[in-house]
Structures are given as structure tokens and as C-alpha cells.
């Protein structure tokens, strides 16, 4: 099969994986004339989808042949799709030539499972090794690891990759058992635990002060498919909170289930609304950076996020008694709960109010949506009056920021 034809098949097959943002790695460059590529700097094409996904990586599968039969996956063994397989040299050459043309900033490599997990993982690691050791490639590499592969292979992957990821695939171990019976949810978590230890070790200085070997400086991430099973948003976010806490993941990516050809009857016929995926990302940020817990974020009795307004707004609308918040005296934790105020604007407010009182005019300089925050704050020269009591406040807020979700494969 022609290389171009393989690329068409294996790049298309990789598009279902959303876990490829390139944040958080260490800086390397070849601007001194040594090596090739860099993880930062001029000449690298960064392109992000509106929800933050990096789309400038060469994102391919080594192969879409797979011996497993996960019912939600287009590459499962029983699926009737065109199959292809790259060899190591082909992936290396594609990465280098695309990099030289400035099409990409790095490589995201995943694979179906051929023969067995160790054999597959060896091939994936070999691509990264050849890029690093033979070609001195200094660009970004994200390897999707195979959960059941040996810890030794995982350890080698971490030497070459910037980021490693293992997909938990589904929000609960029970769902995984039903829809991907060959996968072992406990083994996935064990592998994440091993990676966490290796990543932590790589950050420790030994007693001699010697730097430990590099290991996946961009940390580890995972992906969960949303809407392939009946798990509600509360349980999804509980799983995320657990993964962040137990394995120090950099990111949990949420990928709305896309119906696949010849799908099993166990799967829904339709994708969930894409805005659900968007709300989960917003809720995920509240968990990690805004001091919310899952119970607070999920305001619906049905365990689902409100799709009409963002999760912070939904919480504020249900807790109107906690507003208006005085921007000049409220603690940081409360400022972070004001709809429309982000982490950066809260930091600016705290710094500015040390010098003098913040007034209405100052808000414009914070570049925040005034319509969104004004009902919830009080200032020396501004009071929201009875706006918090308006029965149609939610509708007003919906008009300020109507929900908008871009599809993963739509042009941006």
C-alpha cells in the first residue's frame, strides 16, 4: 500500500482521540544548530481548537489493526474498515519531513493492538527512540501507551516522550467491563500509578544532588468517552477528580461519543449534544483551578450539568444568597466563584485593590464581560439593586453567552 494511502487511513483513524494538547513539557530547541525541532519558539505552527485542543501535531496510529473488540471503537477487530500499518521507519520519516515543512510541531502516536500489548508498545517506543537517538529530534512527542504493556516498556517510553497517556476510555470500570471486556480497568489504573511514580521520581533530586533521568516532563493524561454509556456528569466528574488526585494527571480529555458504522446495539444511535462535552471541560476547570467540588458543580437533580449556562453560572444562580460579592473585600475563594471572573482577572483584582478601591470603570480594564458579572458584584459606585431577584436572570445570562460548541473536525 502507498504511504499516502496509509496516511489517509491512519490519520483518519486517530482523529477519535482527543488527548493531544502539548502543554507542560520542558523547553528544547535546535536554534544553536544542533539537532532538529524544538518544543517552543519561532517557526512552529501552533493551532488550537476553540476548546483548547492542540491540532498541530502529526496525529496518527501506527496501525488500525487491532485484536481487541471494544464495541465503541471503529478499529475493533470485528469492524469492517480499511486497515493499514506503518513500519517504524515510515512514521519517523513522515514526522521529520512534516516537521521540516513546518506542518506540525510534534508527533502524537497511538496504535491498535497487534499480536499483544508488549509487541505493540515496543514498536511505538521504537519510533520515539529512533526520532530522539538517531535523528536528535527535539520536537514534542506524545505517546499513547498500551495499558497492559510491561512496566519496563512504559519506563522506556517515558525516556523519549514528552507526555504519556493511557485512556481510561469510559467513566466507570463497570462500563468498561461491558463495552470493552478485554480491557482491565484496574490494570489501566495500575499503569497510571506506575507512571505517576516514575514522573515523581524524575522530579526528585537524589541525595548526591544528581538529576534523575528525564521521564515524560509533560506528565500523563487520559481520555474518557462521554455518552457511549449511561454514566451521568456527576459520576464522570467524580472519576476525573479521583484521577487528578490519585495519579496527578495533567489533563482528563472528554470526547463525545461518535456513532460508528455497524455499531453494536449496546451503543446509543446518536452522539450526545456536543455542548455537554464543552460543559464537562468547563466543570473540569472549576474542579482544578476554582476550588469547586463535584457536588457543587453538578446542580441538576438528574446528575447532569446544566447545558444552558456554564457550570459556574449555574452554581451562582442556585446560590444567589451568596451574592453580590464585594470586589474590594471578598476573599479570593469567593472572587473565584463570581461568574465571568477567571483566575487571571481575580489575581489582577487582588493586586489592584491593595493600592486603591476598585470602581466600576476599572472593570472594563479587566477585559471581563460586564453583563455577566455586574448582577453578582458590588463596588463603591455600583450596586446591582434587585437584579439578583429577577426571575428571568438565567435567560438574561444565556443571552450574554449563548452556548457554543465547535466540533472536533469542523474547520476553525
Q: Toward ligand SF4, which CB reaches closer, 143 or 338?
A: 143
Cα–Cα dist 340/325, whole Å: 13
Q: How far is the CB of 93 from ligand SF4 (least distance, A)?
A: 24
Q: Toward ligand SF4, which CB reaches closer, 114 or 352?
A: 114
Beta bridge partners of 378: 326
Cα–Cα dist 339/97, whole Å: 46
Closest CA to 164 of 22, 311, 319: 22
**DSSP, residue by residue, 328-361:** TT--HHHHTTSTT--HHHHHHHHHHHTTS---HH
- 9: which 3 cell numbers? 487511513
Q: How far is the CB of 223 from ligand SF4 (least distance, A)?
A: 10
Distance of CA 185 to the CA centre of its chain: 20
Q: Toward ligand SF4, which CB reaches closer, 72 or 140?
A: 72
Q: How far is the CB of 320 from ligand SF4 (least distance, A)?
A: 45
Q: How far is the CB of 15 from ligand SF4 (least distance, A)?
A: 13
CA separation, residue 42 to residues 31, 48, 299, 304 (Å)? 10, 16, 44, 43
Q: Look at the block and give the residue holding cell 471486556.
A: 181
Contact 381, 359 (CB under 8 A): yes
Q: Toward ligand SF4, which CB reaches closer, 120 or 345?
A: 120
Q: Toward ligand SF4, which CB reaches closer, 264 or 329?
A: 264
Q: Look at the block and give the residue holding cell 459606585.
A: 381
Q: Which residues bind ligand SF4 (CB under 6 A)?
A: 66, 68, 70, 73, 75-76, 112-113, 180
Contact 376, 315 (CB under 8 A): no
Q: Toward ligand SF4, which CB reaches closer, 66 or 236?
A: 66
Q: Look at the block and give the residue holding cell 509487541.
A: 119
Q: Toward ligand SF4, which CB reaches closer, 173 or 400?
A: 173
Q: Which residues of 265-292 are buried (b: 16+ CB within 10 A; e: fewer)?
A: eebeeebbebebbbbbbbbbbbbbebeb
Q: How far is the CB of 75 from ligand SF4 (least distance, A)?
A: 4
Contact 255, 62 (CB under 8 A): no
Q: How far is the CB of 304 from ligand SF4 (least distance, A)?
A: 26
Cα–Cα dist 290/347, whole Å: 12
Q: Toward ligand SF4, which CB reaches closer, 76 or 198?
A: 76
Contact 369, 396 (CB under 8 A): no
Sign of CA dihedral 39, 42, 44, 46: positive
Q: How far is the CB of 177 from ligand SF4 (least distance, A)?
A: 13
Q: How far is the CB of 112 from ligand SF4 (least distance, A)?
A: 4
Q: Toward ligand SF4, which CB reaches closer, 187 or 343?
A: 187
Q: How far is the CB of 243 from ligand SF4 (least distance, A)?
A: 18
Amino acid at each position: 500500500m502507498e504511504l499516502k494511502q496509509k496516511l489517509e487511513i491512519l490519520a483518519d483513524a486517530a482523529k477519535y482521540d482527543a488527548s493531544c494538547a502539548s502543554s507542560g513539557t520542558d523547553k528544547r530547541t535546535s536554534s544553536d544548530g544542533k539537532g532538529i525541532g524544538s518544543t517552543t519558539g519561532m517557526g512552529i505552527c501552533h493551532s488550537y481548537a476553540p476548546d483548547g485542543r492542540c491540532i498541530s501535531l502529526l496525529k496518527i496510529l501506527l496501525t488500525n489493526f487491532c485484536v481487541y473488540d471494544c464495541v465503541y471503537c471503529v478499529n475493533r477487530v470485528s469492524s469492517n474498515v480499511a486497515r493499514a500499518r506503518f513500519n517504524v521507519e515510515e512514521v519517523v520519516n513522515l514526522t521529520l519531513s512534516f516537521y521540516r515543512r513546518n506542518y506540525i510541531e510534534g508527533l502524537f502516536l497511538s496504535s491498535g493492538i497487534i499480536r499483544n500489548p508488549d509487541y505493540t508498545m515496543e514498536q511505538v517506543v521504537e519510533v520515539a527512540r529512533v526520532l530522539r537517538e538517531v535523528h536528535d529530534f527535539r520536537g514534542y512527542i506524545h505517546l499513547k501507551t498500551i495499558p497492559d504493556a510491561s512496566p519496563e516498556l512504559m519506563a522506556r517510553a517515558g525516556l523519549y516522550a514528552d507526555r504519556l497517556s493511557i485512556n481510561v476510555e469510559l467513566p466507570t470500570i463497570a462500563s468498561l467491563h461491558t463495552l470493552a471486556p478485554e480491557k482491565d480497568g484496574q490494570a489501566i489504573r495500575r499503569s497510571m500509578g506506575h507512571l505517576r511514580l516514575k514522573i515523581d521520581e524524575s522530579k526528585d533530586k537524589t541525595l548526591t544532588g544528581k538529576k534523575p533521568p528525564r521521564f515524560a516532563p509533560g506528565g500523563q493524561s487520559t481520555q474518557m468517552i462521554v455518552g457511549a454509556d449511561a454514566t451521568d456528569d456527576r459520576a464522570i466528574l467524580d472519576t476525573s477528580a479521583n484521577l487528578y488526585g490519585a495519579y496527578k494527571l495533567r489533563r482528563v480529555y472528554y470526547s463525545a461519543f461518535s456513532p460508528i458504522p455497524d455499531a453494536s446495539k449496546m451503543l446509543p444511535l446518536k452522539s450526545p449534544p456536543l455542548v455537554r462535552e464543552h460543559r464537562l471541560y468547563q466543570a473540569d476547570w472549576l474542579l482544578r483551578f476554582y476550588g469547586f467540588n463535584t457536588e457543587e458543580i453538578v446542580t441538576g437533580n438528574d446528575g447532569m450539568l446544566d447545558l444552558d449556562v456554564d457550570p459556574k453560572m449555574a452554581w451562582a444562580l442556585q446560590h444567589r444568597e451568596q451574592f453580590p460579592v464585594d470586589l474590594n473585600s471578598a476573599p479570593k475563594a469567593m472572587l473565584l466563584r463570581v461568574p465571568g471572573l477567571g483566575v487571571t482577572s481575580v489575581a489582577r483584582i487582588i493586586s489592584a485593590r491593595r493600592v486603591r478601591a476598585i470602581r466600576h470603570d476599572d472593570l472594563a480594564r479587566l477585559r471581563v464581560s460586564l453583563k455577566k458579572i455586574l448582577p453578582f458584584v458590588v463596588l463603591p459606585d455600583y450596586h446591582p439593586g434587585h437584579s439578583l431577584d429577577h426571575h428571568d436572570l438565567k435567560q438574561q445570562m444565556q443571552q450574554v453567552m449563548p452556548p457554543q460548541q465547535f466540533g472536533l473536525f469542523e474547520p476553525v
